[in-house]
Amino acid sequence: MTALPAAEAEPHRPTLHDQIALAQKLLAVLEREYELLAQRDIEGLGEAAAEKQSLVAQLDGRGEAYTDDTEADPGLRAELTRLIQSCRHQNTINGAVIDLLTRYNERSLQILLGQTPTETVYGPAGQEHSAGAGRYSASA
């Protein structure tokens, strides 16, 4: 029996090692994103977000297809699970930082527009909205 030419060969099926490597890259991107948030590096955040989306798409597309029985190693599965949990945790932290920075910026803008922080109401979607028309602060 002859081997199939490279073009007709079965495509590489992902392994747990592949998924672990992707999860490690994703965790590194999430940690970098946290640092970029602290530095308020907008350009860097855009790049990190694009990289994060790409890695998540790759991980989502990997499924449970493994190439051989050695890939069913419970230690490898546990490592992947730990990494995914770490990614979720870091992403939650990053989301909380983004929320805090957004609120800070909204409050700063309210002050610059002469509104007090108590002049907010909640809309049907739960978003904060200004209760009154803003006026520009002469002291800004």
Within 13 A of 140's CA, how many CA atoms are on the CB side? 11
At residue 89, what are phi and psi to the nearest 5 degrees?
-65, -45
Is 30 in contact with 52 (CB distance < 8 Å)?
A: yes
Q: What is the model's pLDDT at position 69? A: 46
Residues constituting the chain: 140
* Tens digit of pLDDT at every position of the chain (140 positions): 555 555 555 555 668 899 999 999 999 999 999 999 999 999 999 999 999 999 999 988 765 555 444 556 888 889 999 999 999 999 999 999 999 999 988 988 888 888 876 556 677 777 776 655 444 445 55
Q: Give tens-digit pLDDT for 98-122.
A: 999 999 889 888 888 888 765 566 7
CATH class of 16-117: mainly alpha
Please report the pLDDT score of residue 91 as a whole number.
96
Confidence at residue 25, expressed as pLDDT on a 0 to 100 scale: 98
Domain ranges of the chain: 16-117
Q: How far apart are alpha carbons 137 and 19 in whole angstroms?
A: 54
- Determine if the pTM surpasses 0.85: no
